[in-house]
């Protein structure tokens, strides 16, 4: 299956990937991009302070009497506040880098990212929240 935006992105990555073309380079860069997202979020908390993490064990209510959407709404994501413009820009850049190396790795392995998205969306549509348990 083809989607112009994803296919164009994956092709642009393929054309732009020159220096780190080895699958080993790409996988290590992909991992690094993931770590940089975690680091940027940590800096949003510890350096900037625009968001806070207030984490504790989620208390799961008696789910027999709740719908799945009510149960989901009752669970805490542990985030307080909103990303400031600067932190949002950094995280968006890091997410972009992660997408770049995801597309690069998929391209090296001759896998179409759009096809993966379609398959995952079908799973979510079919299995709903049970897919993620």
State pLDDT tens for residues 91-108. 999 999 999 999 999 999
CATH numbers and ranges of domains, the chain:
4-132 (1.10.287)
pLDDT band at 82 (very low <50, low <70, confident <90, very high): very high
- For the stretch 35-63, pLDDT in tens is 999 999 999 999 999 999 998 887 777 76
Spell out the residues 6+ positions from residue 59 whose beta carbon is closer than 8 angstroms to its own. Answer: none
User: Counting beta carbons within 10 angstroms of the beta carbon of residue 44, is it exposed (0 to 12), middle (13 to 18) or buried (19 or more)?
Assistant: buried
pLDDT at 129: 57
């Amino acid at each position: 299956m083809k989607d112009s935006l994803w296919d164009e992105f994956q092709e642009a990555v393929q054309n732009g990937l020159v220096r780190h073309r080895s699958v080993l380079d790409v996988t290590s860069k992909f991992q690094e991009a993931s770590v940089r997202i975690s680091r940027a979020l940590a800096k949003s908390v510890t350096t900037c302070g625009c968001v806070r993490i207030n984490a504790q064990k989620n208390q799961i209510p008696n789910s027999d009497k709740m719908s799945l959407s009510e149960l989901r709404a009752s669970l805490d994501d542990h985030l307080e506040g909103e990303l400031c413009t600067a932190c949002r820009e950094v995280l968006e850049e890091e997410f972009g880098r992660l997408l770049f190396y995801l597309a690069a790795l998929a391209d090296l392995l001759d896998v179409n990212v759009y096809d993966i998205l379609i398959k995952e969306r079908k799973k979510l549509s079919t299995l709903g929240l049970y897919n993620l348990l």
